[in-house]
Amino acid sequence: MRRIAIAVCLLVLGSTVLGQAGRGVIAGKVTTDQGDPAAGVTVQAKDTAGKISSVVANGKGEYRLANLPAGTYEIAVPQMGLRTARYAQPDVVIEAARTLTFNIMLMPNNFGIIGDDAGFLQMYNKYAGIKGPAPRTRDGHPDFSGVWLANVDPNPEPAQMLPWAVTEWNRRRDRAFEGMPTSRCLATDPTLTLPVFYKIVQTPTLLIHLFEQDPHYRQAFLDGRAHPQDLDPTWMGHTTGRWDKDTLVLDTVGLNDKSWLLQATWLPHTEMLHIVERYNRPDLAHLNIDVMFEDPATFIKPVERHVQWLFTPGEELFETLCAENNKFLEYSAFK
């Protein structure tokens, strides 16, 4: 499981003299495990206080973070899509008045299976240059309609869970996460957070998510209704929404305890789970979503995730019926 990217790193201390005392530079090239330039990935340097400096690699996979105070950093490349794992290298020392050449090779995630990732970076780079103001609906609210390429939280914080939940999570890990509901063609997680495509259809009273996994839709009621009393727990729960200025706040309850919180690193939960999502579109290209998972029977404190989706207006969803030819239960080593 520990295939995060402690990959081949080439560290060469250069001798470039910088003009500003007490600060240094880290620069290099990011490649995939196939040796191709990983254009468009984000490279981060996190200092010991937790402050993150970041830059996006260019078309040749080259990056440069300048003007960093001398010190010790964690150099990371957040996971983008499904094909490459998150890279993280702690204890990288950046010296004053020097340039550290630090090349990064990303390691394959998920075995690098062809087609499991759908070319995330290719799609991301295709649409990353979109610019413009966020569109609005006739009633004046931001319009989230369209096809979006989602991504995971670039810096997920570990969850703090009660002992039963830690035991359950370890059990899932020890069984290679074979029990995830989607492997049995059951529902994806209720917050729609894999790095795949989602389509939003927005009306004044209803927000609909369409997606290529079961159950293929989620509806959020924006007409002012309250959650019904005594809900029967379901996979996707019951979602209502209200506007807080330009932010749409979605509130979900009525969830069963069978779903895995995929975005929140496949965590377990109980029927007490309450999810609050805040959708904000700062410009044409981006949709920022802040998610809070609150479940006092599972989490010591609420788990938060912060993701950014990219607008991909040239893409469309495909029909995807999982039960058509699912061989996983037959081929899995775990029975």
Applying the rule CB under 8 A, the residues between 15 and 44 that interact with other proteins are 32-34, 36-40
- H helices within 107-208, ranges in order? 120-127, 163-174
Nearest distance in Å: CB 50, other proteins: 14
Based on the shown chain and the rule CB under 8 A, indicate whether residue 92 belongs to the binding site for other proteins.
no
Instruction: Give the footprint of other proteins on residues 184-213 (CB under 8 A).
Output: 185, 194-196, 212-213
Of 131 and 245, nearer to other proteins (C-beta) is 131
Which of 111, 138, 224, 232 contacts other proteins by CB under 8 A? 111
**Cα–Cα dist 5/166, whole Å:** 24
CB of 85 to other proteins, least distance (A): 7
Say whether 80 sits in a helix, a strand or coil: coil
333 binds other proteins (CB under 8 A): yes
Q: Which of 25, 26, 75, 85 binds other proteins (CB under 8 A)?
A: 85
Q: How far is the CB of 313 from other proteins (least distance, A)?
A: 15
Residues 49-68 that bind other proteins (CB under 8 A): 59, 61
Q: How many residues bind other proteins (CB under 8 A)?
A: 83
Can residue 82 be called a binding residue for other proteins (CB under 8 A)? Answer: yes
Q: Which among 67-75, 139-147, 177-185, 252-260 is the span making contact with other proteins, rule CB under 8 A?
A: 177-185
Cα–Cα distances in angstroms (integers) from residue 33 to residues 3, 17, 106, 154, in the given order? 12, 32, 6, 20
CB of 127 to other proteins, least distance (A): 11
Going by C-alpha positions, the residue among 191, 167, 188, 147 that lies closest to residue 287 is 147
Write the burial class of residue 55 (CB in 10 Å: 0-12 exposed, 13-18 middle, 19+ buried): middle
Query: What's the CA gap between 213 and 82, in Å, rounded?
Result: 15
Dist CA 116 CA 81 (whole Å)? 9
- The encoded tokens of residue 78 equal 């957040």
Candidate segments 64-72, 201-209, 279-287, 325-333, binder of other proteins by CB under 8 A? 325-333
Number of Cβ atoms within 10 Å of the Cβ of 71: 17
- x/- letters, 218..257, toward other proteins (CB under 8 A): ----------------------------------------
Q: Which stretch binds other proteins (CB under 8 A): 66-74, 200-208, 219-227, 324-332?
A: 324-332
Report in angstroms how near the CB of residue 83 gets to other proteins at its nearest: 7
Q: Give me the residues paired with residue 324 across strands.
A: none
- Binding string to other proteins for residues 134 to 173, with x set by CB under 8 A, is what? ------------------x---x-xxxxxx--x--xx--x
* 295 binds other proteins per the rule CB under 8 A: no
Q: What are the respective helix, strand and coil percentages of the chain, to the nearest 5?
A: 10, 40, 50
Q: State the Cα–Cα distance between residues 142 and 71, nearest whole angstrom.
A: 42
Please report how many Cα atoms fall inside a 13 Å half-sphere around the Cα of residue 76, on the Cβ side. 21
Residue 59 or 140 having the CB closest to other proteins: 59
Specify whether the backbone of 5 is left (phi greater than 0), alpha (psi in -120 to 50) or beta.
left
Closer CB to other proteins, 212 or 277, in the complex: 212
